[in-house]
Amino acid sequence: MLVVDRLAGSALEMFPRQREGLEIIDVGKCPGKEGWAQEQINALLVEKANEGKTVVRLKGGDPLVFGRAVEEVQACERAGIKCTIVPGLSSALAAPTLAGIPLTLRGVSSSFHVMTGKLAEGEDEEQHWREMARLPGTLVILMGVKALPKICAGLLAGGKDPETPAAIIERASLPDQRVTIAPLRDLAAEAQRVGVEAPAVTVIGEVVAHRVPVSIIHEHRSPILGRRIAVTTSRDVSEFSEPHMSLETVGAEIFPLPLFEYLPIHRDEKEINALLDSVRSSDCVLFSSARAVSTFRDHLTAVECDVRKIGSAEILTVGESTADAVVDRLMLRCTHVPEPGGVAGLKKLDVDFEGKRVLWLRGREARPETRTVLEERGATVEEAILYESHPLRENRDRLLELLRHRALDAVTFGSARGAEAAFADLPEEERRTLTEGVCLAVIGPATAKALEALGLRADVVPLMPDQLSLAAGLICHFHDRFRTSESAP
């Protein structure tokens, strides 16, 4: 299980997709709000470890730099629980670098001092900051946003030069990172004027005046850095988590807005066994989505059926990602994987279906073209519906709201139904207005045609109809736009 801090909160989106049954507890503390007391966190770690679970306490930055990790380790040690500490990179070091500020510089500063702006209860703040003013070199202050007026007043009262350059780095490393620079005497007022918010790191010292232009640090920055992308496909199977992770890794801000939720069709034990008999008597089993694979695996688990006992039918999938799901979840080898995927690939597949019985395991809303192609090639097609979709209207409303406020750079669609669900009931002129200047990225030609029927054009159609290719296509799209804008006079 994961016990996660607020600044490590991206794990809440990433980790559940990587391992089924992973429990996550968010114990994050927000400034000025009620949260978990440290004693409660200590007790939780001990409780979960004593239940026999492997517990990861995930923190932002370095756990031993104002991270209270020592208290948690000591609590575990008292309970006889062994711990391992994995060091991290403290924001005290990372944030100034990401802002182009050196903490040390020959002839300017030969030392730096890291301190917290959140002092212990009862400590004399004014006296504390008067003393800090006498320290040589650079001052780096963590968790100091709320107390910034008192910090600046104390440092000035302690003799710090009012003209000392200072900087506040908010949300370091994120797409919306912001750096506010002012002399020490004006820092608190400037922070209030621009609305500085935590998390932020404050740097005070002459080194701030020697800040390196951020464009040099990010000379080879990702063209997708800071792009706001709505992903309208579900993330409940692994193939849908990968593009989120790959895009987030290169700096995109992802808005997960699935337009449908997918629910399995309930089958009792007798019905599942009848389905398995159909599988065993088929010449070929077709999986048209990774979700179908997952649902079929759940059926096997429900009746405690070994996957090796489902017969020797050939396995056909409509794409690489579905084939990967067959290998990962059923531990079976795919006999046929069309290239490209989808209906276009089925048409080109060099397989003789004449007289063969094909069992198509699919969702309720699957398009009929797949059946038509197989029957045209001589197959007898039977179907078993494993799941169905239900619209998530609140996500669709949120998507349209973001588009109306020009808050998105791109929207991805994993199916023609998704594109239709987003725009079909809107007037054509409104569709065009909403998506003007927004990259529309689709999983394949069928989805591109659905957009075209709505009077819209797909900007990204990957060569392979899978989610990772879609993510790569988005990166290439913005790379081309980035390169053009960089070379423009």
Domain 262-390 bears CATH identifier 3.40.50.10090: yes
Strands (DSSP E) along 143-197, which ranges? 165-170, 178-183
CA distances to 287, 294, 376, 468 from 362, in Å = 7, 11, 19, 22
What's residue 347's pLDDT? 82
Taking residues 407-420, report their average pLDDT. Answer: 91
Angle, alpha carbons 273-278-282 (nearest 5°): 150
CA distance 228 to 230: 7
Mapping DSSP to helix (H, G, I), strand (E, B) and coil, where does residue 192 land? helix
What's residue 27's pLDDT? 86
Domain ranges in the chain are: 2-78, 91-217, 228-259+392-487, 262-390
What's residue 254's pLDDT? 86
Closest CA to 61 of 209, 180, 148, 173: 173
What's residue 366's pLDDT? 82
* Confidence band for 32, pLDDT divided at 50, 70 and 90: low
CA distances to 261, 353, 356, 367, 375 from 380, in Å = 31, 8, 6, 17, 6
Whether 7 has a pLDDT exceeding 70, the answer reads no
pLDDT tens digits, one per residue of 125-141: 889 999 999 999 999 99
Q: Which distant-in-sequence residues (6+ apart) come within 8 Å of 274 by Cβ?
A: none
Burial class (CB in 10 A: 0-12, 13-18, 19+), 191: buried
> What CATH superfamily is the domain 2-78?
Tetrapyrrole methylase, N-terminal domain (3.40.1010.10)
What's residue 18's pLDDT? 45
* DSSP notation for 3-57: EE-GGGTTHHHHGGGTSTT--EEE----TTS----HHHHHHHHHHHHHTT---EE
Q: What percent of the chain has pLDDT over 70?
A: 87
Sign of CA dihedral 344, 349, 355, 358: negative
CA distance 50 to 79: 9
What's residue 289's pLDDT? 85
Joined tokens for residue 275? 């389905």
CA distance 284 to 310: 12
Q: What is the mean pLDDT of the chain?
A: 86
Whether 17 has a pLDDT exceeding 50, the answer reads no
Closest CA to 386 of 271, 220, 226: 271
What's residue 441's pLDDT? 94
pLDDT tens digits, one per residue of 379-398: 999 999 999 989 999 999 99
Decide if 461 contacts 445 (C-beta within 8 A): yes
- CATH architecture of the domain formed by 91-217: 2-Layer Sandwich (3.30)
- For the chain, what is the radius of gyration of the CA atoms? 28
Closest CA to 337 of 464, 472, 238: 464
Decide if 411 contacts 232 (C-beta within 8 A): yes
DSSP state of 228: E
**Strand partners for 382:** 359
CA distance 321 to 348: 19
Burial class (CB in 10 A: 0-12, 13-18, 19+), 481: middle
pLDDT tens digits, one per residue of 159-172: 999 999 999 999 88
Mapping DSSP to helix (H, G, I), strand (E, B) and coil, where does residue 261 land? strand
Third-level CATH fold of 228-259+392-487: Rossmann fold (3.40.50)
Q: pTM higher than 0.75 for the full model?
A: no
Instruction: Tell me whether the CATH fold assigned to 2-78 matches the one assigned to 91-217.
Output: no
Joined tokens for residue 179? 């750096």
Which long-range CB contacts under 8 A does 101-107 form with residues at least 24 apart?
101/167, 101/169, 101/203, 101/207, 101/208, 101/210, 101/211, 101/212, 102/207, 102/210, 102/212, 103/138, 103/140, 103/203, 103/207, 104/137, 104/138, 104/207, 105/206, 105/207, 105/210
Angle, alpha carbons 221-224-229 (nearest 5°): 155
Taking residues 457-477, report their average pLDDT. Answer: 83
Between residues 278 and 23, which one has the greater pLDDT?
278
Q: Which distant-in-sequence residues (6+ apart) come within 8 Å of 234 by Cβ?
A: 240, 258, 260, 261, 262, 291
What's residue 241's pLDDT? 43
